[in-house]
Structure 1
Amino acid sequence: MNLQGFQVPYYLDEANGWALEVTELRRQLKLARAEGIKVRALVVINPGNPTGQVLSEENQKDIIRFCKDEHLLLLADEVYQENVFAENKKFFSFKKVSRSMGYGEKDLSLVSFHSISKGYCGECGKRGGYMEVTGLDNDAKEQLYKIASVNLCSNISGQILMSLVMNPPKSGEESYKSFQQERDSILASLGRRAKRFAEALNKLEGVSCNEAEGALHLFPRLHLPERALKAASAIDMPADTFYVRKLLDATGIVMVPGSGFGQAPGTWHIRSTVLPPEKKLPDIISRLSTFHQRFMDEFRK
């Protein structure tokens, strides 16, 4: 079904830690409207995928004001909220921030998303989640409920796990201590993996990578030799796809080209997770480093 929808891209500021600048949002909104596109919603992922940044509370307030002023529905993907690694950063839900600003349901239309599979519980294995809808009229909510209700088979295991995420063991309960220990151990390990992998990527020739503040990903930028760009162009393939295909063939390591996510024109990135087991990370880094140096040497000649 063609609903004649359009995606309006916006770009984060890589030089400023992947900041989401409202000036960029206004610029893209103006361009879209000039082309006759009726922009209805803004999607924000916080903590970020694929970039791993965590928005500051002030930045969130600016985004909320922007959506209110421009009458945009705010779609807040907050599935990585447990994964915050930077000591100077903290997760704030858009709903909590908007309420702290004195905004109620009549002021801001907001859909908040959460999941079992992106924090410490499902770790990208099990699937289940929810969305909380606020500020939409009842007719819109009825349509959403109708769409959700047509599923033939309910995701029972996902619903059970989601209930556990929303209602974890409480202080004083028998399993509370072991739950806290396992959760903290998983999150601490993910933080160490993110830091170690970012450090390794920044040691590679022609690679620059912002530190992961949260989520489960890194989004390093590739500065590839001109011969590599020409070789990719000769087979009608984006340069970052060319790189990750060769990486896969040579090492078995899977990364995703940045062109699949949208990136500033003229730049090339790759997305990596920090999910491999911590004990396997040294070997992965070694294989990646060896491949990368051989790639650079081959196409620098």
Structure 2
Amino acid sequence: MPSLRALLSRRLRALRAMAMGSGSMGSMGSMGSGSMGSKREPVLSPSSMNAAIRRVQYAVRGPIVTRALELEQELRQGVPKPFKEVIKANIGDAHAMGQKPITFLRQVSALCLFPPLLSDPSFPEDAKARARRLLAACAGQSVGSYSASPGLDVVRADVAQFLQRRDGIPADPNHIFLSSGASEAIVTMLKLLVWGSGRSRTGVLVPLPQYPLYSAALAELEAERLSYSLAEDRAWALDLPELRRALKEGRGHCCPRVLCVINPGNPTGQVQSRECIEEVIKFAYEERLFLMADEVYQDNIYGEGCEFHAFRKVLAQMGPPYSDTVELASFHSLSKGFMGECGFRGGFMEVRNLHPEVLQELSKLVSVRLCPPVPGQILMGALLNPPEPGEPSHQQYQEEKAAVLRALAERARLTEQLLNKIPGIRCNPVQGAMYAFPSIQLPPRACAAAQAAGQPPDLFFCLRLLEGTGICLVPGSGFGQREGTFHFRMTILPPTEKLQLLLEKLGNFYTNFVKEYS
């Protein structure tokens, strides 16, 4: 028989084993292969994470941008390259491209962030008046305090007044929600709209090409994305028969409930006519679709004969049954326009014809994030309550605004002209927004090389371009494009001299690339 010492030793080992397994054989069984020495599997792993997140793609900050950042680091370390700098033409970040902030907007922000400056005589009185008004609306007169979840009441009132000035149509501040940029508001509205499963799952009509926020958000929400192609041969016009085709096909496997329109277009730069907007509203009414109007580039209009028409204005002017029936959410942002204040993350959404109970649910949903960033709200208040004629900042404000928009219009024309001089590249007029989306011909051998590398052909080209010239563009495949066509998106934001150099280097590289693969 075993000795008492042996029995005690065996019992002690058993107790230790139970303690390591959290006191249960089930816990021990969860450890790797069951061996006491094997490594415990993480709770969150590639196989156990939310599968919808794995389907999310966001091209404007995708692998090309990752490589661009690596190249910048290599340049700083002295690694030899065939270029001296990386030019990031992949994203509409105005200030990163050298655009100067609008003085009045930054003055009001500075005064609100550091109120002792209110006694500084170098700040104009109209900026101080705006700052005092905004600070008075903040709890404790500090932008470091929470605001109400939909945003500061005084700024929502400013948004309502701005919309009425712009459109001649009244706006209710209670139907306005401030947000952390337009992107957050768009995703919030999609959360309200997406539900069901199988053939009852919400389908969302989005343009092709589209801004990848939409495809990413719909992938995360597991909604059905229904793409309607814009007509490239007609300067990216929205085509009603194509909308009907996408809707009909979508109804075969889901329940289309939402129609998204981006005007002016991103990445395509088109500006929709009033007649087109009326047709879209009628289509939404007839097909019982919720309208989402992404209008963040409304200040950026360059095309001859082009004019921005707000969906809310056209809807109201169409009268019943459209004006009191069609549900609409429209979005605006600080990030674009002439201000380009991307980092402040300020935006707003206005909703029309929303069911009262749904409006309450929307209010509840935005309360989950507590409130949008208050500095962004402050800047939105300054933007929408600009200096009036006769106030000390008025002339400078108008001159700075006009200079930014004039420079953008010049770059829009320059981009179109120089791209169209490159054989094999065709660029539609950049009527609005901040981007060109030219088509590009790629030789069959280049397409074969891309396939061998496991990459879409336009991604293959853009990566080669980055490595050879330091120019960072986004391939059209990241936005969606018709089968068999290739594109890239580039911003028109670089200063004119740098933009001209960028386009010349792009043309030379493309010509040599075609020769290499011909």
TM-score clears 0.5: yes
Q: CA RMSD in A?
A: 1.5
User: Partner amino acid for 1:21?
Assistant: D
Superposed CA deviations along residues 65-88 of structure 1, whole A, max 9, x for unmatched, are 000111101000000000000120
Question: Which aligned pairs between 1:91-240 and structure 2 lie closer than 5 A?
Answer: 91-103=308-320, 106-122=324-340, 124-152=342-370, 154-240=372-458
The CA deviation at 1:140 is 1.7
Provide, for residues 3-34 of structure 1, a one-character-per-residue CA deviation record: whole Å limited to 9, x for no partner.
54111011000001101011110111001102
Counterpart of 1:87? 304
Alignment equivalent of 2:290, drawn from 73, 78, 82? 73
Residues in 1 aligned to 2:468 and 2:365: alpha-carbon distance in whole angstroms: 44
The answer on 1:299 being equivalent to 2:494 is no
- Aligned partners of 1:45, 1:231: CA distance in 2, in Å? 34
Which amino acid in 2 is paired with 1:233?
Answer: Q
Q: Distance in 2 between matches of 1:47 and 1:139?
A: 32
Q: % of aligned pairs identical?
A: 46
Residue in structure 2 matching 1:258, options 465, 476, 484: 476
Q: Does structure 2 conserve the Cα–Cα contact (< 8 Å) formed by 1:251 and 1:287? A: yes
2:281 is the counterpart of 1:59? no
Counterpart residue type for residue 34 of structure 1 = G
Cα separation, 2, equivalents of 1:4 and 1:53? 29
Give the total of aligned pairs.
299
TM-score, normalization: structure 2? Answer: 0.56
Higher relative contact order (CA 8 A, sep 6+): 2
Pairing partner for 2:231 from 8, 13, 21: 13
Conserved 8 A contact 1:208-1:222: yes
Distance 1:169 1:156, change over 3 A: same
Q: Which amino acid aligns with 1:49?
A: N
Match of 1:23 among 217, 241, 247: 241
Secondary structure in 2 aligned to 1:34? coil
**Inter-CA distance 197–123: structure 2 relative to 1 (3 Å threshold):** farther
Q: CA deviation at 1:95?
A: 0.5
Q: Give CA deviations for 1:14-59 in whole Å, capped at 9, x if unaligned.
A: 0011010111101110011022x10111000000000000000001
Which has the larger displacement, 208-217 or 192-201? 192-201
- The change in CA–CA distance for 1:71 and 1:153 in structure 2 (over 3 A counts) is closer
Counterpart position of 2:255 = 38
Q: Which amino acid aligns with 1:83?
A: N
Deviation at 1:122, TM superposition (A): 2.2
Question: Could you say which structure has the higher helix fraction?
Answer: 2
SS of the residue aligned with 2:259? strand
Gaps of 5+ in 2: 1-49, 53-220
Contact 1:105 1:134 in 2 (8 A): no
User: Whole-Å Cα distance in 1 between the matches of residues 414 and 442 of structure 2?
Assistant: 23
2:487 to 257, 266, 269: 269
Distance in 2 separating the partners of 1:185 and 1:85: 13
Q: 1:42 to 1:115 in 2, by over 3 A?
A: same
Q: How far 1:147 sits from its partner (Å)?
A: 2.3
**Structure 1 contact 10–28 (Cα < 8 Å) conserved:** yes
Structure 2 residue identity aligned to 1:53: Q
**TM-score, structure 1 as length reference:** 0.95
Structure 1 counterpart of 2:317, one-letter code: S
Contact 2:475 2:487 in 1 (8 A): yes
Indicate the structure (1 or 2) with the bigger Cα radius of gyration: 2
Q: Does the 8 Å CA contact 2:315/2:323 hold for their aligned counterparts?
A: no
SS at match of 1:10: strand
Shift of 1:297: 1.1
CA deviations on 1:207-232 (whole Å, 9 max, x unpaired) are 11101000001000011111111111
Alignment deviations for residues 185-208 of structure 1 (CA, whole Å, 9 cap, x no partner): 000101111110111111112111
SS at structure 1 position matched to 2:329: strand
Q: Distance in 2 between matches of 1:68 and 1:153?
A: 33
Q: CA deviation at 1:106?
A: 3.0
- C-alpha displacement of 1:164: 2.1
Task: Give me the whole-angstrom Cα distance separating, in 2, the residues matched to 1:279 and 1:126.
Answer: 28
Which digits, 9 at most, give the CA deviation of each residue in 1:254-283, with x for residues without a partner?
A: 111111111111111101111112232222
> Which runs of 5 or more residues in structure 1 are unaligned?
none
Residue 153 of structure 1 deviates from its aligned partner by 6.2
1:89 match: secondary structure: coil
